[in-house]
């Protein structure tokens, strides 16, 4: 069996991944808060863990992997959007959720086994708060319930920060009712016009950190294998999750491996609305196909900072053009069910080394382009498709890839112009034939004349 290595944030090094139960490998990844269209950061994280999910399924078997990625549909950001737009909260969360699902489908992100919504697990969250109170890790004050960080001596070990550093580096509300300024809310009161649920502490709603602790515990158990998310979640979100879950269930470890993706930057600067370099997935996909964005994410090792540029996006599109061109030239070659290239699997097993895995895809494509016999072409094409699947790539039809997003009417018009050019060439009207080719070229359409006729693709 392939040995997977992962960089564990808690251990601060790359370690062998040994699941608790090989027959039920469990992974939880923090999903989006559904209040607006998904931005690039919302897209990068699920693409990374999608590759890890594919690898886990390859090594342990799809039926032996349980992947959970949540949806936060109760949060102050959603309330603020409601106040800003006047739209009902349910309408905001449903519309945003559907946008997110569409983005994930375009990026070829496999659906997790469970995609729980926070509002569906309020009862479990209330029970978790009760356990924390019973175990002496929380206290009630002014209709709120707060986690008592002093009751957890190990608090801060995930982020590796001292209490002084944690207080200085986080937006912590300073309040007289807190025993320690770092104590955080796990249940808070709601006004009559805000989302809320009846609880032993009054009408209210859960704190953000509590939500993931309750959902992961309910769906994966109190001990599970991998917890993932962006590096921006290490503190305070994941630190607080771990404290809550270990406090509620003494003797458990919560997540056994913590895996975090690197920071996303735009042209070398952290993405921020205030800096004017904030991009939604929708905006980026107006410039290039979704698969180009997915490939671009994978050109940088997930653990390192990722720098997005539109130049990089176009380079990723060019790489895919090369890959799809090889498939197009071998469209007549059948594929068989084969194992992915061993080097690709080895690269992914080494802490998801996607840049190295991509280099092996290039190698396979080069060999496919040079292959001479039908048997060799079939073997390499099959190997390419099986290997690309592990990265979630080459999921488009090659011919459709080059024709891009042309509408049916535009495609029909292009075909009509090609027929006119063919007729012109038959009549030896070379001027008209060249004029049609040049007109199409100006529109970004390239023609290729071959023994079986003329084909076209977008430049």
Q: Domains in the chain and their CATH numbers? A: 5-265 (3.40.50.620), 287-400 (1.10.730.10), 406-458 (no CATH)
| pLDDT per position as a tens digit, 199-230 | 999 999 999 999 999 999 999 999 999 999 99
Half-sphere exposure of 254 (CA within 13 A, CB side): 24
User: pLDDT truncated to tens, each residue of the chain (459 aa)?
Assistant: 999 999 999 999 999 999 999 999 999 999 999 999 999 999 999 999 999 999 999 999 999 999 999 999 999 999 999 999 999 999 999 999 999 999 999 999 999 999 999 999 999 999 999 999 999 999 999 889 999 999 999 999 999 988 777 776 555 666 888 999 999 999 999 999 899 999 999 999 999 999 999 999 999 999 999 999 999 999 999 999 999 999 999 999 999 999 999 999 999 998 887 888 899 999 999 999 999 999 999 999 999 999 999 999 999 999 999 999 999 999 999 999 999 999 999 999 999 999 999 999 999 999 999 999 999 999 999 999 999 999 999 999 999 998 875 555 666 778 788 888 988 888 989 989 899 898 888 777 888 887 667 878 776
Cα separation of the two ends of the chain: 44
Is-contact 170 184, C-beta < 8 A?
no
What was the pLDDT predicted at 161?
Answer: 83
Contact 377, 327 (CB under 8 A): no
pTM, to two decimals = 0.89
C-alpha–C-alpha distance, residues 137 and 210, integer Å? 13
Q: What are the strands, taking DSSP E only, across 155-201?
A: 184-189
Tens of pLDDT along 74-132? 999 999 999 999 999 999 999 999 999 999 999 999 999 999 999 999 999 999 999 99
Whole-number pLDDT of residue 423: 87
Q: What is the pLDDT of residue 417?
A: 85
Cα–Cα distance for residue pair 319/388, rounded to 1 Å: 13
Q: Residue 310: how many CB atoms within 10 A of its CB? A: 14
Q: What is the pLDDT of residue 459?
A: 64
């Amino acid at each position: 069996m392939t040995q997977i290595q992962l960089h564990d944030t808690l251990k601060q090094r790359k370690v062998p991944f040994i699941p608790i139960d090989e027959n039920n490998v469990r992974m939880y990844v923090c999903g989006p808060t559904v209040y607006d269209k998904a931005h690039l950061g919302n897209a990068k994280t699920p693409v990374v863990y999608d590759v890890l999910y594919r690898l886990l399924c390859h090594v342990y078997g799809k039926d032996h992997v349980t992947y959970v990625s949540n949806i936060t549909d109760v949060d102050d950001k959603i309330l603020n959007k409601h106040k800003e737009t006047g739209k009902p909260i349910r309408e905001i969360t449903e519309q945003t959720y559907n946008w997110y699902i569409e983005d994930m489908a375009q990026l070829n992100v496999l659906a997790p086994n469970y995609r729980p919504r926070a509002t569906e697990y309020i009862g479990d969250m209330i029970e978790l708060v009760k356990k924390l109170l019973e175990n002496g890790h929380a206290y009630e004050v002014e209709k709120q319930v707060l986690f008592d960080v002093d009751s957890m001596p190990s608090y801060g070990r995930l982020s590796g920060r001292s209490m002084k550093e944690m207080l200085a580096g986080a937006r912590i509300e300073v309040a007289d009712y807190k025993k320690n300024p770092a104590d955080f809310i796990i249940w808070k009161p709601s006004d009559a016009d805000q989302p809320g649920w009846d609880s032993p502490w009054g009408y209210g709603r859960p704190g953000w950190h509590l939500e993931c602790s309750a959902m992961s515990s309910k769906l994966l158990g109190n001990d599970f294998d991998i917890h993932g998310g962006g590096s921006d979640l290490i503190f305070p979100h994941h630190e607080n999750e771990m404290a809550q879950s270990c406090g509620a269930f003494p003797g458990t470890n919560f997540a056994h491996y913590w895996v975090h993706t690197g920071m996303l930057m735009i042209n070398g600067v952290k993405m921020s609305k205030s800096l004017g370099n904030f991009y939604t997935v929708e905006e980026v996909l107006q410039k290039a196909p979704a698969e180009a964005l997915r490939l671009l994410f994978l050109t940088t090792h997930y653990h390192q900072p990722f720098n997005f540029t539109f130049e990089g996006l176009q380079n990723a599109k060019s790489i895919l053009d090369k890959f799809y061109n090889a498939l197009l030239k071998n469209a007549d070659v059948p594929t068989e069910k084969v194992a992915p290239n061993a080097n690709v699997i080895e690269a992914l097993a080494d802490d998801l080394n996607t840049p190295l895995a991509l280099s092996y895809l290039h190698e396979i494509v080069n060999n496919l382009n040079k292959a001479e016999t039908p048997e060799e072409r079939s073997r390499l094409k099959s190997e390419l498709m099986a290997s690309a699947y592990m990265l979630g790539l080459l999921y488009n039809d090659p011919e459709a890839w080059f024709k891009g997003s042309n509408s049916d009417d535009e495609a029909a018009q292009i075909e009509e112009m090609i027929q006119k050019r063919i007729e012109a060439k038959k009549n030896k009207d070379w001027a008209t034939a060249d004029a049609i080719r040049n007109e199409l070229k100006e529109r970004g359409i390239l023609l290729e004349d071959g023994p079986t006729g003329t084909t076209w693709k977008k430049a």
